[in-house]
Structure 1
Amino acid sequence: MQNESIGSILYETRIRLGKSVKEVELDTKIRAKYIDAMEHDDFMSLPGSVYAQGFLKVYANYLGLDPVPLVQLYKSTYLERNNYDMQKMPPKIRVKKKKRPRWFKLAIALGVIASIFVGLIVWGAVVQNMAKDRKIIVQNIKTRKTKPTVVASATTSTTEKRAQEQSSTNESSSPSSHRTGENSNLQQIKLKLTGTDGTGSWVRVTVDEEKKFEGLISDGTSRTFKGKSISIRVGNIAGLEILLNGKKVSKDDFEITNGIASKNFSVSSAESSNGQR
């Protein structure tokens, strides 16, 4: 056995027993390529020394051979050679790791802190912009809600100016009326406003060009005003009863502008109204 190699012993024994490599593979569970490697003394193709010795024992027992001499021959032939080759190999060159300077960690820490700081600034700017956008939206909503009031107020002022201009025009164009008023015993007019219809109405009253009242006259509530000239503006004309010197005023006599009813009363108009009746 000393003159023969391990591979030739295994191969000749298998041939003598009439076994094929495929049969050996099925019976021993050793892959065919490893069986072929052992029979050709190519132990470097095996997974390692431990597997090589294990495969060699199993294969030898399967062929009816004593595995001990074969394993010893394997160790003396291959393991000792490998140890000898390893001794001849030059020692491993140790590459000394270059130490990083002390400031390197500090630079990394400063970089991380700077990144966090920049992130906080960006986040704060985004939050601030979002807050501004919300504020603008709220302001727009409030502006939209208050626009009708502004329009109504502007319309009220315009209507008052028109009424005053109309009153002054009437006074200048009818001097006979002034003479009649001066000669008449009627020095003031009396206007009584009473809330009706279960709701009442918003009212603004101006007596002799001075605002005397602005507010709600509720259902069943009455207010009386006296003067030479009285101008009124009514939000809900249907919810208000108007008496001039004790006589009911027709609601058809009012001028309606944007839902606001307005009318001017004076001594001269009261006298002409009495004359017509």
Structure 2
Amino acid sequence: MERIGDVLKKKRLDLDISLGQSAEETMIASRYLESMENSDFSPFPGNVYARGFLRRYAEYLKLEEVEIQKLLSQYKAEQEDESFSQTEKKIDVKTTVLRNVRANKKNLYLYSTIIIIAFLIAGGILGAIIIPFLGREPKIDIDQSKLLSQEELMRKSKQPEKKKETRLEIKPVIIKGVLLEGNAFEEVWVQVQIDSGKNKEILIKAGEKIKWNAKGKICLTMGNAGAIAWKFNSKAIGTLGKTGIAKTMLFTPKKMQTVIKKELPVPIPSLSSKEEEKSLTENKEKQETDTIVSFQEQAMREKNTTQTTEERTKTQ
């Protein structure tokens, strides 16, 4: 059975197409095409991407659907065989380790027995030497001036020991700037704003790598959130969302968050021209009525004041 890579390479050479031309027309990086023609699928991030790129390249080379399905089935079988062989290797390693452990246990028992016997022999020899001296009463000269009284010993024993306080200095971890790195699985449109700079629109092709640095923030909008795997400050975070979903993210030195655009409030409908004219007329009539009433009240006050003055004059 021919290898997958041999079938692809033979078909490309029959069509008289270069590897660079294939990469440009399929929008697949040339290193991925070269890996597929070498039957090496390790550079792909997973089986889903490998199968997708294999189908796209086979369709580009105008292979029949039957041949494409055959290649996909062959790829699946090879992956299963590789997984099974890795499992067998793990089992062999475990078996070897168990054998070594058992052998080490036997050696350990042997060494332990030899050591115990050696201690017993040494103990017997020391006992034969020391026991004759134990029967003698030793003479002890005690200098009374150097002995501490019982009270002093009791007093010192009751005094608590001062514990030394140990202080741990915790230095805060300072995160400087924002580092955003990405690896594109497929072609995708993005818009990026670094710090307070202008928005830049970029069309990123499959297989390309991106790297942006910022002092304060990076605002990123993607037309397809599942098209790029990201690293935020050297930590892998994967894709920003599901395939086919547009998303906007804000990255700062300490965190990342989804940006949700707020909807504008619905404006309150204004009055129609007739209703507005009617309201203005009513306000005008009310103002005129209030003015007339005010003049009438002022005239009455002046009349009462005049009558009071005349009455006072007659009285005098």
Q: TM-score under structure 2 normalisation?
A: 0.27
More helix by share: 1
Larger Rg: 1
Q: TM-score, normalized by length of structure 1?
A: 0.31
